[in-house]
Structures are given as C-alpha cells and as structure tokens.
Amino acid sequence: MTLSELTLDREGLVAAIATEDAAFEAALREEAYHVKVATVGPEVYLRGLVEISNICVKNCLYCGIRRDIRCPRYELSDDEVLATARTAAHRRFGSVVIQGGERTDAAFIRKITRLVKAIKSIDTGEDPPLGITLSLGEQSREVYEEWFDAGAHRYLLRIESSNPDLYRKIHPDDHSYDRRLQALYDLKEIGYQAGTGAMIGMPFQTAEDMADDLLFYKKFDAPMVGMGPYNPHPETPLTSTGAPYPSAERRFALGLKMIALLRLLMPDINIAAATALEVLDPLGREKGLLSGANVIMPNITPEEQMVKYNLYDRKTLNTSDVQDLIDQGIPIGYGRWGDSRHYQIYVRRSGGR
Ligand code: SAM
Ligand code: SF4
C-alpha cells in the first residue's frame, strides 16, 4: 500500500489499519507529523497528571485497579493534590489532569469540587491560572455541572470501543454503552471540552472496529482524543480469557498508526500521546508526537502512590521528566492551556467558555 492510495473513508481506514507494510506506516507517520505542524504547530502541550486514587466502584474487565482486584488502595489527601498542582504550576505545565477510579459517593464529589476551586486559586504568576481536566468516569449530569461550575473545563471519558458488542465483551453487565454515550453528550452540552478515546489492539477487536473508533471521534466532533495501546494486566478477566491480541510490537505500531490516521482525519484537534505507548517503548510518547500527537501528560503523582495505580504491567515509571522532549528538539508550549484549534473555532461559533 502507498500513501497515495490512502482514502479516509471506512474502507480506506480499514485497509490502512490492517496492513503491516512498514514503509507505508513510516510514510503515514511522516505525513501526519507534517499535517500537525502545518495545522496546530510543532509545540507539545503538557498536562500534569495527578492520579488521585485507585479506589474504584467499577469492574472493567481489562483494568488492573478494578473493584475485584486485591491490591493496596490509596487516596491522595487535599494537601497532597494541591502540592502536586503547585509543582505543575512551578514547572509551567499550564494545566493538570485529575484522574482516578470512579466513585460517586458524596464525600468524593465534594472533595473534587473543593480541589478544583483550590487549584483555580493557585497563583501561577501568569495568566491564565492552571487549566483543569477531570477524568473520573461516569457521573450524573448534576455532578458534571457542579465540577464545571467549580472551574473544570475539560473532561476525558473514553468510549473504550465504539462497537457496542465489543464494549459489552470488555465490561461486566452493570456497564452500558448507551449510558457511556449519554455521559459524553452530557459533558459536551454542559460546555466541557469533552475528550474521548479507545484502547487499541484488544482481544476481539478488528481493523473495522478501530476504523469505526476513528469515525466515531469525527462524528462526536471531539476537540481532543487520548487513545492508546491495550496493555494486558495478568490478573484481569480479559487476560484470563486467553483470547489472542496483537504482539507488543504490533500494538505499538498500531498505536502510532491510529494517531497518524486521526491527525489526517481531524487535523486541528488535540491528540494525546498516551502513557500506554511509553510502556511499550521508552521513547513511545516522543514517537507519538512525531506521528501527529501534540499533547503529553507527564505523571506528577507522588511515586509511592504512582506504583499503586497499576492499570497494567508498567515496567517503567512514567515520571514528570520532560528532558526527553527537550533532547528530541520538540518545542514545549509552557504555561499555556493549549486548547485545540478545533475547540477555539467551536467556542467562537457557540459562545462557550
Ligand atoms: N476511571 C476513569 C475511567 O475509566 O474513565 C479514569 C481512570 S481509567 C484507569 C483511565 C483509562 O485507563 C481508561 O479509560 C482505560 O482506557 C485505560 N485502561 C485501563 N486498563 C487498561 C489496560 N489494561 N490497557 C490500556 N489502557 C487501560
Ligand atoms: Fe475503574 Fe476506570 Fe479502571 Fe474501569 S477503567 S475499573 S472505571 S479505573
């Protein structure tokens, strides 16, 4: 397959995903990098990732912190979260992501509201204050509104798979694809920049499923997407099924290829180079940037807790080091929220924040 044969309809995307032609894949990544630079610029935006807690009420079949796994649990205190946010401000990251297991109890909801307000009032010495992205699973519309009113402006909720049948296979019965979709539309209607994404290279997943994931992001008109390779966790039911999935090498190549295809399909959005890439290659995130991604989430969780946020076999600890970016000559958008160009155009149209 050659680049000139690539079409961005379903058939073309399926063919591009299915091929293992290394020369085509390299040319595609290079093309996507050029499109990124020409459309959103060469800078990478940083979001300091705070993994607030590994306590979760859900039981996703792929996840290493699912409810039924026996593992040491933790929850960062308000002071610990604020200390990491101050670190992000000090390092001029521009924004933070608060991510964690899903919880819907009142104490947790109030805690997030309190923290969002407190983070907003941190004096960064520059304008604007720290941007705040939340990634805390499915919540009621009222809770999403409460957190938005407190000052959060982005929310990450992956669709995990846009194929309802595959979604059902990788989740227990108390999950609902329709509920997940509703949550995404709630977030959008409230005014969040609603980011989504899916895992790549899962058991039971086909090239058609992955092409449909890309078309789903387009249909949802996502201003940002964070997708990454599936990495097996030995104690999860999805791994125990024994169902085959692509090799680590293939999942990595697929991860980069999906980023590149999405950059061609949606040139002006924000695309994150997921942590899951780094697990498969020490320079995985940098290679993601060279394939069309423009956002990285350096992990600023205290190390003692970071090791317990064990979604999958993490051989390396992803730390807040941005030296690799500097070494690769990648320019950094320090101190800025780095909203996607796509979203800025949308805000101008709709009058949102
Ligand atoms: N609980 C929230 C949620 O599910 O949206 C946020 C935290 S959850 C750990 C963040 C993401 O981790 C999920 O959206 C999922 O795609 C990803 N994840 C979980 N297990 C994974 C695995 N084994 N391989 C790759 N990604 C995984
Ligand atoms: Fe909980 Fe999120 Fe893991 Fe599902 S993916 S078990 S909601 S932390």
Q: State in Å: Cα 57 to ligand 2 middle.
A: 8
Q: State in Å: Cα 46 to ligand 2 middle.
A: 23
Q: Give the binding-site residues of ligand 1, using a 6 Å CB cut-off.
A: 62-63, 99, 101-102, 135, 137, 157-158, 160, 199, 230-231, 233, 276, 311-312
In the predicted structure, residue 179 carries a pLDDT above the cut 90: yes
126 band by pLDDT with thresholds 50, 70 and 90: confident
* Mean of all residue pLDDT scores within the chain: 93
Which range has the worst mean pLDDT, 48-62, 78-92, 114-128, 261-275?
Answer: 114-128
If you average pLDDT over residues 136-150, what whole number do you get? 98
Rounded distance, CA 314 to CA 299, Å? Answer: 13
Per-residue confidence (pLDDT) for residue 339, from 0 to 100: 85
Per-residue confidence (pLDDT) for residue 125, from 0 to 100: 80
pLDDT tens for 19-43 read: 999 999 999 999 999 999 999 999 9
Pick from 155, 285, 171: nearest CA to 229: 285
In the predicted structure, residue 345 carries a pLDDT above the cut 80: no
299 band by pLDDT with thresholds 50, 70 and 90: very high
In the predicted structure, residue 98 carries a pLDDT above the cut 80: yes
Copy the structure tokens of residue 288.
């993601």
Per-residue confidence (pLDDT) for residue 329, from 0 to 100: 84
Rounded distance, CA 126 to CA 159, Å? Answer: 35
pLDDT tens for 255-283 read: 999 999 999 999 999 999 998 998 899 88
If you average pLDDT over residues 99-118, what whole number do you get? 98
312 band by pLDDT with thresholds 50, 70 and 90: confident
Rounded distance, CA 241 to CA 231, Å? Answer: 15
Per-residue confidence (pLDDT) for residue 127, from 0 to 100: 75
If you average pLDDT over residues 150-177, what whole number do you get? 97
If you average pLDDT over residues 182-200, what whole number do you get? 98
Per-residue confidence (pLDDT) for residue 315, from 0 to 100: 54
If you average pLDDT over residues 218-233, what whole number do you get? 97
Per-residue confidence (pLDDT) for residue 322, from 0 to 100: 80
In the predicted structure, residue 334 carries a pLDDT above the cut 90: no
Query: For residues 99 and 135, is the Cβ–Cβ distance under 8 A?
Result: yes
If you average pLDDT over residues 293-320, what whole number do you get? 82
Q: Which atom of ligand 2 is nearest to the CA of 54?
A: 8
If you average pLDDT over residues 183-189, what whole number do you get? 98
336 band by pLDDT with thresholds 50, 70 and 90: confident
Q: Which atom of ligand 1 is nearest to the CA of 231?
A: 24
pTM (2 d.p.): 0.96
Q: Which atom of ligand 2 is nearest to the CA of 63?
A: 3
Per-residue confidence (pLDDT) for residue 325, from 0 to 100: 83
Query: For residues 130 and 120, is the Cβ–Cβ distance under 8 A?
Result: yes
Q: State in Å: Cα 313 to ligand 1 middle.
A: 13
316 band by pLDDT with thresholds 50, 70 and 90: low
Q: State in Å: Cα 311 to ligand 1 middle.
A: 7
Q: 3-class secondary structure for the chain?
A: CCHHHCCCCHHHHHHHHHCCCHHHHHHHHHHHHHHHHHHCCCCEEEEEEEEEECCCCCCCCCCCCCCCCCCCCCECCHHHHHHHHHHHHHCCCCEEEEEECCCCCHHHHHHHHHHHHHHHCCCCCCCCCCEEEEECCCCCHHHHHHHHHHCCCEEECCCECCCHHHHHHCCCCCCCHHHHHHHHHHHHHHCCEEEECEEECCCCCCHHHHHHHHHHHHHHCCCEEEEEECCCCCCCHHHHCCCCCCCHHHHHHHHHHHHHHHHHHCCCCEEEECHHHHHHCCCHHHHHHCCCCCEECCECCCHHHHCCCCCCCCCCCCCCCCHHHHHCCCCECCCCCCCCHHHHHHHHHHCCC
Per-residue confidence (pLDDT) for residue 208, from 0 to 100: 98
Q: State in Å: Cα 51 to ligand 1 middle.
A: 12
If you average pLDDT over residues 62-74, what whole number do you get? 96
Place of tokens 């090799």: 247
Per-residue confidence (pLDDT) for residue 350, from 0 to 100: 59
